[in-house]
Amino acid sequence: MATTASAYRNGNYSRNSLSTNNNKMERPPSVNSNPKNSLKSKSLRKSAPAALGAAKDDTGVPGRVRVAVRLRPRNAEEMVADADFPDCVELQPEVKRLKLRKNNWDSDTYEFDELLTEFASQKRVYEVVAKPVVEVSADESVLDGYNGTVMAYGQTGTGKTYTLGQLGEEDTAARGIMVRAMEDILADVSLETNSVSMSYLQLYMETIQDLLNPSNDNISIVEDPKSGDVSLPGATLVEIRNQQSFVELLRLGEAHRFAANTKLNAESSRSHAILMVHVKRSVRGRDSVLSSENGDNSPMVKSLKAPIVRKGKLVIVDLAGSERIDKSGSEGHTLEEAKSINLSLSALGKCINALAENSAHVPVRDSKLTRLLRDSFGGTARTSLVITIGPSPRHRGETASTIMFGQRAMKVENMLKLKEEFDYKSLSRRLDQQLDKFIAEHERQQKAFEDEIKRVTMEAQNQISKSERNYADALEKERSKYQKEYMESIKKLEDKWMMNQQKHAGGENIPRLKDESSNAISNGKDSGVANMEELAEMKKKLQKETLLRKVAEGEVNNLKSQLAGLKKSEALAKSDISKLQKMLEDEACQKGKLEGEIATLQSQLLQISFEADETAKRIDKGGSEEVLGGLDSLMLQVRQTQINDSENGEKASIAKLFEQVGLHKILSLLEAEDADVRIHAVKVVANLAAEETNQEKIVEAGGLKSLLMLLRSSEDETIYRVAAGAIANLAMNETNQELIMAQGGIHLLSMTAGNAKDPQTLRMIAGAIANLCGNGELLDPIDVYSSEFASCLHFKLV
C-alpha cells in the first residue's frame, strides 16, 4: 500500500482510470460586507447548518467554508488485500451525497459542497476547489483584493500533496492546485504595474522553517494588535516574474521538505507545507483636484485620481497526514514527528469545533498551525477545503474521522473583507513626476526667454555698431573735404601774395639781376657736378671695401666654429674608443676565466666518470650472481655499492669538485645538450648522493626532479643506470622516499626497467625499489609496481 500511495502522491494515476470533466461549479452570489476580522469574535459568525449530515445552500452565506471530498482509487495492495470487500464509501456526485458504510446493511449519509470521484481529473479538482478563490471572474477572490485559503486534509497516503503540489513536468494534465493557481494569477495580472510575490514555508515539530532558505529555520509569528492580521516578517519573499521561476521555487522548496517512509506511505510528509502568494493590484481611485496655496486653481495643476492598491493573499496549505501509530509503524524520531503532527491537527480540530458551535473561546494559541490559519477559519479569508479519503474498509475509522472534520468545517463562516488602501507612495511619485515635468517646462521656457533676450540684445548692439561706423565714415569724408578746400584756399592766397610782391619790386632792376643770377648759377652748377661725381665714386669704393671686409670676417668666424666642433668631436671619439677598449679587455678576461672553468670542469667530470666506471666494475664483479635472490638481496647490493663509492680517494675528488664548482652548476649540466656532459654530470650527482650529508642538499636544489626528468626523457642506457643508482641512494631517506612516490618515481622506475637492456641497469632499478620497500607506509602503492617490475625483471633475465 505504501508504494501505491506514494505513486498517487507523485501524480502516477493510471491513465485508463482518469477522465476529464470540464463542468464548472456554480459560484455563490456576492454579498457586500466589510466587518473587522477576528477569530474569536462571536458576533462575526452567523448560524451554521443545523445537522452534521446536511450541507446548507450557499445562498446568503458567501463566507462559509466550502468543503469538497476527493476519493483516492484503490492501490495495488488494497486490490489484493480488500478484493473480497466493497469500498467503505460510496460517492453520489449528482446529489452531492456521500455514504459511509457501517456494515453490509447500514450506512451513514453526508452532504458536501462537491464530491470528486477517483476518476476526477486535476483540472476538475482545481476548477471546483481553488478557482473560485483565485480567479478575478469569481466574486470576492484573491485577484479582487480578498484573502483566500485552499487547504487539503486527510489520512496519510490519500493524495493531499498530489492534489496541491504536483508540478506536472512530465504530464501537464497532472499539475496541482499550486501550479494552476499561479498560471491564472499571472494571466490576469500585468507585472508592469502590479506585483506577485511568494513565500514557501513548513511547520515542522512546532517550528516554522523557510523552504526557500533552509538556514532560516526559526521564523516567528507577528500579529497586528489592531487588525489581528498574522504575518511572518522573517520569511523569504521572492517576486515572481514568470511561471517557470515559480515552478523552480516550488521544486527547491519540495526538496527541503521533511519526508519519511512509513507502512502507509513511502514518502509521507512530516511537516505542514504553507505556500503564501501576495498579489498587489493598482485600481483607479476617486478624482482629487490639487489647488495652489492661495486657494486658486493653477492652470499647471491637473486633476489626479488617487491610486488604490488592493492586496490579496492566497494561502495554500498541504497538511501532513494524520496517522495511527499502530498502522504506520512509526518509531524513534519518526514517532516524535507523528506525535507533533497529530497534536497540531488536534488543535486545528478543536478550533474548528469551537467555531462550529459558536463557542465564546477559540483556542487558537494552542498551536502555531492554528495561529497561522487564524484568518482562514473565522477570519476574513475565503476558504476552500478539500478532504482526501481512501476506499479501503480497513481504514474506515480514519475515513470517518476525516469526513466528520469536513462536516464541522462546513459550519465555519468567515466575514470576507476587501483589502485595499490608498497608494500614497504611488500618488507621491506621480506628483513628483508632474512637479519635475513642470519644473523642466519652466526651465525650458526660462531658457528660451533668456535666449530671446540675448538675441535681441545682440541685434541691437550690431545695429548700434553699424550706425557708429557709418557716422564715423561720413564724418571722415566731411573732414577730408573741408581740409582739402582749406588747403586750396591757402594756396590761392599765397599765389595772390606772390603776385602782389612781384608787382611792388620795380621794373628796371629786373633784367640785370636776371643775367647775374643766371651766370652764377651756371658756374656753381659746373663745379658742384664735378665734386658730386667724385664724392659718389669714393662712396662706391668705400661701400665695396666694407662689403668685402664683412664677407672675410664671416668666413673666418665660420672656420673658427668648424674647428671648435671638430676638436670637440675628436675628444668624444677618443673617450668612446677608450671605453670600448676597456669593455673589450673585460670581455676577453671574462672569456678566459670561463674557458678555464669549463676546461677544469670537463677534466674533473672525466676524472669522476673514470672513477665511477671503475667503481661500477668492482660492483659488477662482486654482486652479479646475486640478482635473482629477490628484492632483499638487491637492497644489500645497493648499500654495498654506496659503501664502495665512499672510499677515501673518491670522496676527496668529489668533495673538491663540489666545493669548486657548486651543486647548482652540476645540476644545470643535467640539462646540457651534449650527451657526454649529461652522462658525466649524472655520475657526479650519483656519487654525491651516496653521502647522507649531500642528499638533503641535492633534493632541495631540485636534483631529484632533474633525475626523474632524465629517466622520463632520455633513451641512453648509461643515463638509465647511473640515474637509477642516484635515486637508489636518495631513497635511503624516508623523507625522500615520500617525495619519490609523490612525483611518480616508482612508476618511472618500472617503465625504465621495461626499456632497459643492461643487467646492471636492472640491478640499479631493483636497488631503488628495494630502498622504497623499506618504508612500510608506502607498501600499498609500491606493490602494484613491484609486481610489474618483478615480472619484467624475470623476463629480462630469462
Tally of CB atoms within 10 A around 155? 28
In which region does residue 206 sit, left (phi positive, over 0), alpha (psi from -120 to 50) or beta (all else)? left
Give the CA-trace dihedral at 411, 417, 419, 424, to 10 degrees.
Answer: -160
Q: Tell me which residue of 768, 749, 793, 752 sits closest to 637, measured CA to CA.
A: 768
Question: Nearest 5°: CA angle at 400, between 398 and 401?
Answer: 65
DSSP classification of residue 35: P
Backbone φ and ψ for 381, nearest 5 degrees, come out as: -95, 155
Q: Tell whether 161 is in a known binding site.
A: yes
Give the CA-trace dihedral at 36, 39, 40, 43, to 10 degrees.
Answer: 50
Helix (H, G, I), strand (E, B) or coil at 396: helix
Residue type present at position 104: N
Backbone φ and ψ for 432, nearest 5 degrees, come out as: -60, -40
Cβ-based burial of 133 (10 A; exposed 0-12, middle 13-18, buried ≥19): buried
CA–CA dist 472, 495 (Å, integer):
35
Backbone φ and ψ for 207, nearest 5 degrees, come out as: -130, 130
Q: Tell whether 776 is in a known binding site.
A: no
Q: Tell whether 390 is in a known binding site.
A: no
Q: Tell me which residue of 310, 394, 317 sits closest to 74, measured CA to CA.
A: 394
CA–CA dist 671, 133 (Å, integer):
83
Q: Tell whether 159 is in a known binding site.
A: yes
Q: Tell whether 600 is in a known binding site.
A: no
CA–CA dist 508, 517 (Å, integer):
15
Q: Tell me which residue of 475, 276, 480 sits closest to 381, measured CA to CA.
A: 276
Say if residues 154 and 388 touch (Cβ distance below 8 Å). Answer: yes
Q: Tell whether 158 is in a known binding site.
A: yes
- Residues in the chain, total: 798
Say if residues 29 and 59 touch (Cβ distance below 8 Å). Answer: yes
Q: Tell me which residue of 124, 123, 155 sits closest to 9, measured CA to CA.
A: 155
Q: Tell me which residue of 375, 355, 382 sits closest to 63, measured CA to CA.
A: 382
Residue type present at position 584: L
CA–CA dist 643, 34 (Å, integer):
106
- The three grid cell numbers given for residue 374, joined into one nine-digit string: 487564524
Say if residues 229 and 223 touch (Cβ distance below 8 Å). Answer: yes
Say if residues 146 and 226 touch (Cβ distance below 8 Å). Answer: no
CA–CA dist 454, 452 (Å, integer):
5
Q: Does the CA dihedral 316-320-321-322 come out positive or negative?
A: negative
Q: Tell whether 705 is in a known binding site.
A: no
The 3 state secondary structure assigned to 309-341 is EEEEEEEEEECCCECCHHHHCCCCHHHHHHHHH
Furthest-apart CA atoms within the chain: distance in Å: 190
Residue in the structure block whose three cell numbers are 495561529: 371
Say if residues 129 and 388 touch (Cβ distance below 8 Å). Answer: no
DSSP classification of residue 658: H
Q: Tell whether 621 is in a known binding site.
A: no
DSSP classification of residue 400: H
Show binding-site residues for ATP. 154-161
- Residues that constitute the known binding site: 154-161
